[in-house]
Amino acid sequence: GENVEQHPSTLSVQEGDSAVIKCTYSDSASNYFPWYKQELGKGPQLIIDIRSNVGEKKDQRIAVTLNKTAKHFSLHITETQPEDSAVYFCAARDSSASKIIFGSGTRLSIRP
Amino acid sequence: NAGVTQTPKFRVLKTGQSMTLLCAQDMNHEYMYWYRQDPGMGLRLIHYSVGEGTTAKGEVPDGYNVSRLKKQNFLLGLESAAPSQTSVYFCASMPDSGANVLTFGAGSRLTVL
């Protein structure tokens, strides 16, 4: 089955700087890769996603890139703000299209 | 429109006790999921359902059972709780296989002593 690895587990950046979180997946048949943000005491919420037929997708300050050959994808947050502090999860939808498997999460802290 | 509602939000159990977590969604979603969240382990899929009356095992199903008797409800049961099941449990739902966005509940924190 699908396995998703995520790093780093913690990341601290100065406000205004960029943050990058990287993930790898194992199932070459996976074709959908979402990113979720979890704020303290809440359930995760989708912030951006990318399908396997696209190499990059951008939404304001966040962007996701996908390298299918290498089976890795990354989340990029530019001009970080205090409200970006949260736990971020990458995920992959497995080839059965029924399961979404998550990475281990990255706790992002934005220093003022 | 409440979305995904989990009950209870908090529970403390003794080893060997049983309990059921209830997940209810009012969005008419076909797919429902139970995940557990542990520090450093991310969200791990316990069981899932692709429709009323169906269930399937996820990554970490041992020690748990589930039922989907009604489309809107997905129950997670612990027959004999163990300290290793101390975790935060999240339920999520998705419209169907053509959709991709999971809607999560707020979580249920379970402590097993």
Per-residue pLDDT of chain B (113 residues; tens, 9 = 90+): 679 999 999 999 999 999 999 999 999 999 999 999 998 888 999 999 999 999 999 999 999 999 999 999 999 999 999 999 999 999 999 988 777 789 999 999 999 99
Contact A43 B90 (CB under 8 A): yes
- Reported as a single tens digit per residue, the pLDDT across A37-83 is 999 989 999 999 999 888 999 999 999 999 999 999 999 999 999 99
pLDDT, position B1: 62
Chain A neighbors of B97, CB-CB under 8 A: 97-98
Residue of chain B with shortest Cα separation from A95: B97
Chain A neighbors of B45, CB-CB under 8 A: 99-102
Residue of chain A with shortest Cα separation from B42: A104
Task: Judge contact between A21 and A11, C-beta under 8 A.
Answer: yes
Alpha-carbon torsion (B9, B14, B15, B20), positive or negative:
negative
Chain A neighbors of B58, CB-CB under 8 A: 99
Task: Judge contact between A73 and A56, C-beta under 8 A.
Answer: no
